[in-house]
């Protein structure tokens, strides 16, 4: 079921305490800042968040962490020069961390969306991140079993949606968007533009609308710092 909603607040209103939320973006590219701000305002807490990182600076995911709303982070690269809010919570023992190699994180998300029960990967074999996991030698090479990673909700950012929910992205802001859209039971997308059905060339659609549940238009453009400024607008 696909809904076009007027505001980011309406889009995230159904997110419950204790939910697992996938948040798209790699650093600031593709991070759905306005949806995250709305999640912050809606008060949902005790969240498990899946993202490549654990927030940068004083915006987006970093604020959700600062406010103590994230119980657990599942990510590949939490520690950055400006990840001070995560660093403080982690050092204080106030947030749980599941560290996953980036490609395994992406493939676990993809596996969930593709209905797979997991996969054997050579990545991480023989390292501490494989501790306690099932291993197997396949064609003479060590592999680690990794489980699928699904979510209650995905918050992602795309460039354009059509009225069927088909999405196209922009440059490296695509990153985790397509796989998170497929892995979550409810996918909420913020887009810069909504176009009529038929206006997107079917050959260029990246995420088919079957994976999308809720779309909100957020105007604003990417600035040089990689952040977006803008507000949700009524869909014309």
Partner 1 sequence: MSFQSNEKSLTTSDIKRPDIKTADAPLGRNDLARLVAADIAPGSFVNLGIGQPTLVSNYLTEEQDITLHTENGMLGMGPEAHGEDIDGDLINAGKIPVTELPGASYFHHADSFAMMRGGHLDICVLGAFQVSATGDLANWHTGAPGAIPAVGGAMDLATGARDVFVMMTLLTREGASKIVETCTYPLTGVGCVTRVYTDKAVFFTGPQGVTVRETFGCTLEELQDLVPVPLTAAVGP
Binding residues for partner 1, rule: CB under 8 A, are 26-30, 52, 76-80, 86-87, 90-91, 97, 99-107, 109-110, 121-129, 142, 169-179, 206, 222-228
Minimum distance from CB of 229 to partner 1 (Å)? 11
Cβ neighbors of 57 (< 8 A, separation 6 or more) are: 82
Give the shortest CB-11-to-partner 1 separation in angstroms: 21
Q: What are phi and psi of 212, to 5 degrees?
A: -115, 135
Instruction: Report in angstroms how near the CB of residue 226 gets to partner 1 at its nearest.
Output: 3
Shortest distance, position 50 Cβ to partner 1, whole Å: 12
In the complex with partner 1, which residue's Cβ is closer, 5 or 169? 169
Neighbour tally for 172: CB within 10 Å: 10
**Smallest gap from residue 133 Cβ to partner 1 (A):** 13
Assigned token pair, 137:
């030698």
Residue 176 or residue 214: which is nearer to partner 1 going by CB? 176
Q: Which is nearer to partner 1, 124 or 165 (CB)?
A: 124
Kindly tell me the burial class for residue 42, based on how many C-beta atoms sit within 10 Å of its own C-beta (0-12, 13-18, 19 or more). middle
Provide the token pair at 119: 């996969």
Which CB atom, from 127 or from 197, has the smaller least distance to partner 1? Answer: 127
Nearer to partner 1, 45 or 80 (CB): 80
CA distance 198 to 180: 24
Cβ 38 to partner 1, closest distance in Å?
21
* Burial category of 80 from C-beta neighbours within 10 Å (exposed 0-12, middle 13-18, buried 19 and up): middle
Residues 5, 3: Cα–Cα separation, whole Å: 6
Alpha helices (runs of H) in the chain, residue ranges in sequence order: 8-12, 33-42, 61-66, 84-91, 102-113, 177-183
Residue nearer to partner 1 on the CB measure, 45 or 222 = 222
């Amino acid at each position: 079921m696909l809904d076009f909603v007027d505001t980011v607040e309406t889009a995230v209103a159904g997110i419950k305490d204790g939910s697992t939320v996938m948040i798209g973006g790699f650093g600031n590219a593709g991070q759905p800042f306005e949806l995250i701000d709305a999640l912050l305002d809606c008060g949902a807490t005790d969240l498990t968040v899946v993202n490549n990182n654990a927030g940068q600076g004083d915006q987006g995911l970093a604020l959700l962490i600062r406010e103590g709303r994230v119980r657990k982070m599942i990510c590949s690269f939490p520690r950055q020069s400006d990840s001070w809010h995560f660093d403080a919570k982690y050092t204080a023992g106030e947030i749980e961390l599941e560290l996953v190699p980036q490609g395994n994180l992406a493939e676990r998300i993809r596996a969930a969306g593709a209905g797979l029960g997991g996969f054997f990967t050579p990545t991480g074999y023989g390292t501490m991140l494989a501790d306690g996991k099932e291993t197997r030698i396949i064609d003479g090479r060590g592999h680690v079993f990794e489980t699928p990673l699904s979510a209650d909700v995905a918050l992602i950012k795309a460039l354009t949606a059509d009225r069927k929910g088909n999405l196209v992205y922009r440059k490296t802001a695509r990153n985790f968007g397509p796989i998170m859209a497929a892995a979550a039971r409810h996918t909420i997308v913020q887009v810069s533009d909504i176009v009529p059905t038929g206006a997107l060339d079917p050959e260029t659609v990246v995420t088919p609308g079957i994976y999308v549940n809720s779309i909100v238009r957020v105007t604003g453009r990417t600035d040089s710092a990689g952040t977006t400024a803008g507000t949700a607008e009524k869909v014309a």
